[in-house]
Amino acid sequence: MGRIPTSVIGQSILIRPRSIISFQPRGTGGQILEIRIKPGDLVKVGQVIAVLDFPDLQEQLRNQQEELAEYEAENLAITNAQTIRSNLQQQTLQLESVSLPQQVAANVKEIEANQTKLIAVKKQSKAYQERIAQLDDFIDLTQRRFQAYTDLVAEGAVAPLSFQIVNSENQLQQSQNERTNLYAQLENLSSVEEELASANINLNAQNENLRAQLEKLRTDSANLRLTDLQANVQRQNTIDNLKRDIDNLKAKIAKDSLVISAYNGTVVTVSGNAGEYIQVGTALGTLRVNNSETVDNENKPMTTAYAFFTPEDANRIRQGMVGKVTPHLLTNRRFGGLREEYGAIPSKVTAVSSKTVTVQEVASIVGDSELADALVQNPVPYTIPDNGRAQNLPVVQVELELRQNPNNPSGYEWTQSEGPDTQIVEGALGEVRVTVQE
């Protein structure tokens, strides 16, 4: 019984790994200002090969700079207003710190004077009370004597209206008048004492209020300084953050505006023109890398084919499976079919990507965006692409090692003959068939 192989078909390209690379914007798409290279030019590592402009980023930078200027002007105005207010408040605090304690001291002196007056008033009141007590005793004694004398006159024992009696009556009247006057003065002293005590209470209350005012001024001043400090820090943080954003944006513009070669090599293609807008991931051109490995292998056949399959077909491919690579330039169509002039190059799968690759990733491998589009748009050769679905289909990258034969002119082994009389050019497209089952 014979074996019937089951194969999956994909697009392939023969290139030297990393021999041709694309150069493109580093991080941001922009407008091309200048391209400083042309095909065939030699470039060195670090050489500026193109200059880009970023109108959107420049507009963003201008807006941020205007915003910064507004913040700084506002901050300056607020700071000046705070300084004026703080100076006025400090002057008020200094004046009140002098005047309020002076008022308190004056009140204390007045309280002390009132206290001295109170002592004198109380002393005078005590003297009046003592005199009134003396007068009360004298009046009482005199009145009792008059009563005794009246009784004796009634009995006829003594003559009425003697000189002594008249004199005693005068003394009694004088004593009564003096007592009445002393009571009036004592009442006045009581009123004075109440007024002095009330005045001292008011003065003490006034001093407490003055001390509270001074403490409130100091507290308000400290709180205002703290509030201003917090507001100043917040405004300064906003300004510092905006300055940092501006510096970062300037650095990004400065960095991304220069397309710099990361390799020594020769320019193969230039894709853009001054004035055109280029997106991120779009190549400006391709560069053939000059290194010892590339130079040594320039005249040798390529050892690797990169193939691209649909995810469904790639899921069936495993490392070590055998394949056949047929360059398109060695095939022709006859009678509606495909005729291989020399057969195919035997190969072996060496790597299968674990995920799909994008057009940009394919372009970075093959070094040309148009080649990448050709490989990705229709990963299954010789089928009619669906215009609604065939553009940029998801594909999986597979690497195959080509079987070499130095005895053949092309340097490869072929399935039907010795192959063509010339070497196969780098970048040749073709089809690849990988046997997934027999």
Q: Where are the domains of the chain?
A: 6-16+302-437, 20-54+260-283, 63-254
Mean pLDDT of 333-347: 65
Type of residue numbered 11: Q
Q: What pLDDT was estimated at residue 248?
A: 95
Residue 333 pLDDT greater than 70, yes or no: no
Worst-scoring range by mean pLDDT, 143-147, 174-178, 275-279, 381-385?
Answer: 381-385
Q: What pLDDT was estimated at residue 73?
A: 94
Topology, domain 6-16+302-437: Elongation Factor Tu (Ef-tu); domain 3 (2.40.30)
What is the percent of the chain with per-residue pLDDT over 70, rounded to a whole number? 86
Worst-scoring range by mean pLDDT, 53-62, 306-315, 374-383, 413-422?
Answer: 374-383
Q: With respect to CATH, is domain 63-254 assigned 1.10.287.620?
A: yes
Q: What pLDDT was estimated at residue 53?
A: 93
Worst-scoring range by mean pLDDT, 26-30, 114-118, 346-350?
Answer: 26-30
Under the banding of pLDDT at 50, 70 and 90, the label for residue 281 is: low
Q: With respect to CATH, is domain 20-54+260-283 assigned 3.30.1330.60?
A: no
Under the banding of pLDDT at 50, 70 and 90, the label for residue 414 is: very high
Q: What pLDDT was estimated at residue 381?
A: 57
Q: What pLDDT was estimated at residue 141?
A: 85
Distances (CA, A) of 84 to 78, 79, 90, 201: 10, 9, 10, 40
152, 155, 160, 163: CA torsion to nearest 10: -30
Residue 43 pLDDT greater than 90, yes or no: yes
Distances (CA, A) of 77 to 2, 73, 84, 301: 94, 6, 11, 75
Under the banding of pLDDT at 50, 70 and 90, the label for residue 432 is: very high
Mean pLDDT of 97-119: 86
Q: What pLDDT was estimated at residue 295?
A: 43
Residue 115 pLDDT greater than 60, yes or no: yes
Mean pLDDT of 418-434: 86
Contact 265, 287 (CB under 8 A): yes
Q: What pLDDT was estimated at residue 392?
A: 57
Residue 336 pLDDT greater than 50, yes or no: no
Residue 379: burial class (beta carbons within 10 Å; 0-12, 13-18, 19+): buried
Q: What pLDDT was estimated at residue 8?
A: 93
For residues 49 and 15, give the distance between their C-alpha atoms in angstroms, rounded to a whole number: 24
Higher pLDDT, 413 or 22: 413
- The segment with the largest mean pLDDT, out of 122-136, 269-283, 320-334, 336-350, is 122-136
Residue 277 pLDDT greater than 70, yes or no: yes
For residues 147 and 152, give the distance between their C-alpha atoms in angstroms, rounded to a whole number: 9
Spatial CB neighbours of 371, under 8 Å, sequence gap ≥ 6 = 13, 363, 427, 429
Residue 384 pLDDT greater than 60, yes or no: no
What is the percent of the chain with per-residue pLDDT over 90, rounded to a whole number? 25
Under the banding of pLDDT at 50, 70 and 90, the label for residue 294 is: very low
Under the banding of pLDDT at 50, 70 and 90, the label for residue 39 is: confident
Per-residue pLDDT tens digits for 191-240: 888 998 898 899 899 989 988 888 888 888 888 888 888 989 999 999 99
Q: Which residue has the tokens 């980023």?
A: 57
Q: What pLDDT was estimated at residue 345?
A: 93
Q: Strands across the sheet with 265-270, in order?
A: 20-23, 285-289, 265-270, 42-43
Q: Note the pTM of the prediction, 2 decimals.
A: 0.51
Q: What pLDDT was estimated at residue 390?
A: 44
For residues 204 and 200, give the distance between their C-alpha atoms in angstroms, rounded to a whole number: 6
